[in-house]
Amino acid sequence: MSSKSRDNDDNCEGQSAVKEELNRKVKEQKVVVDELSNLKKNRKVYIQQRNSNIFFLADRSHTLGACKRELRAVHFEI
């Protein structure tokens, strides 16, 4: 097998791994959006501070909107 062929195989595997990761993110975001959409109006929502174990009280509608935007962004990457 030539080095070009190995490079192409490695590149295809890398692209496949990236695509799988993006598909996983899409599924995850869909679940989050569905969960937030089905919450009762008076339920509290908390968001996690990045790179931390600290959670902050958040507005449900703002959080839902942010999650929908992120879902569209991930869809756009695919």
3-state secondary structure 41-76: CCCCEEEECCCCCCEEEECHHHHHHHHHHHHHHHHH
Per-residue model confidence as pLDDT tens digits over 28-67:
999 999 999 999 989 999 999 989 999 999 999 999 999 9
Q: Is 13 left (phi over 0), alpha (psi -120 to 50) or beta?
A: alpha
Domain count, the chain: 1
pLDDT band at 24 (very low <50, low <70, confident <90, very high): very high
Domain of residue 32: give its range.
3-77
pLDDT band at 6 (very low <50, low <70, confident <90, very high): low
**Mean pLDDT, range 62-75, rounded to an integer:** 90
CA 16 to chain centre: 17
Per-residue model confidence as pLDDT tens digits over 52-61:
999 999 999 9
Q: What is the CATH number of the domain that holds 61?
A: 1.10.287.370
